[in-house]
Amino acid sequence: MNLAGVFAPVPTPFDDQDRVDTRRLAAALRKWAARPISGFVVLGSNGEAVLMDDDESERAIAAAREAVPRDRLFIVGTGRESTQAAIRASRRAAEHGADAVLVRTPGFFKNQMTTDAFVRHYTAVADESIVPVLLYNFTALTGVNLLPAAVSRLGEHPNIIGMKESGGDVAQIAELVNGTPAGFGVLAGTTATFYAALCVGAVGGILALACAVPEACVRLFTATREGRHDEARAIQRQLAPLAKLLGPTFGVPGLKAALNVLGYDVGLPRPPLAPLPETAVKTLRDALAQFEEIPA
């Protein structure tokens, strides 16, 4: 399984009654399928997975599977606080056609989430999962850090093929790359440090911005890979303001608003998330304007 490239972590549309809208999810994925994206992640953090129950999740997976072409990777987020729940979600995702599962660290019982606990958790999931497992560390949201020492041990597992590291600590990304086997792919989760992450050995990225401005993300990836560093640095610089807005500042409401501006029709976030205020949408629209991706 080739993890090199740019992956889009897609949001989940909800309808007017706050139900998962599988039709709009599929329609949006078909639009994205026309772009040079290497694969898709559904039910990640950006997919509001933590706001959905298991039935909703399965319907979203099934609908997405239909829409994602077979030549792209189809990755499903299946992180749960309980090890058994993560195993069950991973198996169900595979049954619905996932190519791989992306398993966010449990993080509720912070003091207990030691390296040993992470190794036990992921080993159990990888042992039971039908499809390959990607680790997923997102310290800013979970409050726990899946350290290189744990990843190094987990990278030996035959069913763990890589990870998404959403933090911007490039030294940690370098350490993850250096501490794992050649076939283990480290994917960046932060656009603000995407170019630097590629420099130190990340094989690609799962980036909210890949939903909004996929061409720019892919050009950055390709330029770096082909040694055109000045070009890569220039694209990174162009992406920086948008990365800030779609990352910590506006979050999922911002991503959905940006995608609606771009014609993807992904609707509003689910409460307690609130729609992005109009002034913020205006800011986003201005930041997007320079990318010439806004439909006429």
Q: Which positions are annotated as active-site residues? A: 164
Among 15, 54, 95, 286, binds a second copy (CB under 8 A): 54
Is 132 or 168 the residue whose CB approaches a second copy more closely?
Answer: 168
Of 41, 44, 42, nearest to 5 by C-alpha is 41
Measured between alpha carbons, how far is 21 from 15 in angstroms, rounded to an integer?
5
124 lies in the binding site for a second copy (CB under 8 A): yes
Cα 218 to Cα 29, 81, 119, 258, distances in angstroms: 17, 33, 33, 19
State yes or no: residue 201 binds a second copy (CB under 8 A).
yes
Of the candidates 269, 195, 205, the one whose C-alpha atom is nearest the C-alpha of residue 239 is 195
Task: Name which of residues 14 to 43 contact a second copy (CB under 8 A).
Answer: 18
| Span from 23-31, 203-211, 250-258, 279-287 in contact with a second copy (CB under 8 A) | 250-258
* Of the candidate residues 9, 185, 253, 267, the single one contacting a second copy (CB under 8 A): 253
Nearer to a second copy, 40 or 194 (CB): 194
Reading the block at residue 217, the tokens are 């993300």
Q: Using H for helix, E for strand and C for coil, what is the string for 86-145?
A: HHHHHHHHHHCCCCEEEEECCCCCHHHCCHHHHHHHHHHHHHHCCCCEEEEECHHHHCCC
C-alpha to C-alpha distance for 86 and 277, rounded to whole angstroms: 35
Residue 249, amino acid: T
Closest residue by Cα to residue 194 from 152, 161, 150, 242:
242
Among 140, 222, 275, 285, indicate the residue that binds a second copy (CB under 8 A): 140
Among 273, 275, 285, 293, binds a second copy (CB under 8 A): 273
Nearer to a second copy, 159 or 238 (CB): 238
Q: What CA–CA distance (Å, rounded) separates 151 from 136? A: 10
* Residues near 106 by beta carbon (within 8 Å), at least 6 away in sequence: 79, 80, 81, 82, 83, 86, 113, 121, 142, 144
Residue from 1, 27, 147, 199 touching a second copy (CB under 8 A): that is 199
Shortest distance, position 81 Cβ to a second copy, whole Å: 4
In angstroms, the CA 77 to CA 115 distance is 21
Using the rule CB under 8 A, give the single segment among 28-36, 129-137, 188-196, 203-211 that binds a second copy: 188-196
Question: Is residue 274 near a second copy by the rule CB under 8 A?
Answer: yes
270 makes contact with a second copy (CB under 8 A): yes
Q: Which of 7, 32, 40, 118 binds a second copy (CB under 8 A)?
A: 118
Q: Which of 28, 126, 174, 188 forms a contact with a second copy (CB under 8 A)? A: 174
Considering the complex, state which of residue 68 and residue 276 has its C-beta at the smaller distance from a second copy: 276
Contact positions with a second copy (CB under 8 A) in 149-168: 168
Element at 243 (helix H, strand E): helix 229-244
Q: How far is the CB of 252 from a second copy (least distance, A)?
A: 6
Q: Exposure string (b/e) for 42-65, b if CB count within 10 Å is 16 or more?
A: bbbbbbbbebbeeebbbbbbebbb
Instruction: Tell which positions 61-100 bind a second copy, by CB under 8 A.
Output: 81-85
Binding site for a second copy (CB under 8 A): 18, 45, 50-54, 81-85, 106, 108-113, 116-118, 120-121, 124, 140-141, 143, 168-171, 174-175, 178, 190, 192-193, 195-196, 199-201, 227, 229, 233, 236-237, 240, 248-249, 251-253, 270-274
